[in-house]
Structure 1
């Protein structure tokens, strides 16, 4: 009875079915582990992406603030340049001092400065003393 061919075939079929079931279960378990690992990786990537997005938003806000600051500085610069031009037109004496200063820097002597800029000797000496140091 134990060795009857039908019984042996049934036993072999049962064993093969169990082996197939075990192999399928092992493959399913391995797939589950891979899926869990990929899920962890996706969560980490999502956190990293969110962190980068936040950093980019902060940089954009800082960039906008910096752009506004630069624009304000340009406006101030233009205003100061305009005021400086107005002052130079109103103060012809300032032109003489600027010219005298340039002459000192170029190495002119006191007599040249006095003659060219119509400046008293004391002022010319003072300019030379200030700008030749």
Structure 2
């Protein structure tokens, strides 16, 4: 027959084995929960990354469109400048009006404008009233 001591030792060993199994089980469950939390976090980060990537692509597309529009506006502005220069060369009278407008901005009176720009009083008065309203 097995002695009581041997039986107690066997029972103690069984309890310790069960305790070790229980502890291992709890540690495994804790690591499983951490793994699940990390997996959830990774999925969320991947969604965020994809969202940011899409936003970046949209911004790049908008920048390309804006660049094209700026080039178009630059060409349009250059054409307008060219037309303005052509008009200025074709109409020598416009030079006098530009000069008179500058004189008005500098504070010249009607007499000065008439004398410097060889302009009749009515035109000088009209120019003076137009440019002082602005």
Compute the TM-score of the two structures, normalised by the length of structure 1.
0.90
Counterpart of 2:18 in structure 1 is 18
Aligned residues: 133
Counterpart of 1:90 in structure 2 is 90
CA deviations 1:78-112 (Å, max 9, x no partner) are 11111111111111100011111122222223232
Equivalences for residues 42-61 of structure 1 within 5 A: 42-61=42-61
Counterpart of 2:130 in structure 1 is 130
Tell me if the contact between 1:2 and 1:8 (Cα under 8 Å) persists in the aligned partners. Answer: no
Counterpart of 2:121 in structure 1 is 121
Compute the TM-score of the two structures, normalised by the length of structure 2.
0.90
* C-alpha deviation, 1:75, in angstroms: 1.1
CA–CA separation in structure 1 for the residues paired with 2:11 and 2:2: 10
Tell me if the contact between 1:99 and 1:117 (Cα under 8 Å) persists in the aligned partners. Answer: yes
CA–CA separation in structure 2 for the residues paired with 1:72 and 1:86: 21
CA–CA separation in structure 2 for the residues paired with 1:105 and 1:15: 104
CA–CA separation in structure 2 for the residues paired with 1:16 and 1:132: 103
CA–CA separation in structure 1 for the residues paired with 2:15 and 2:92: 113
Unaligned runs of 5+ in 2: none
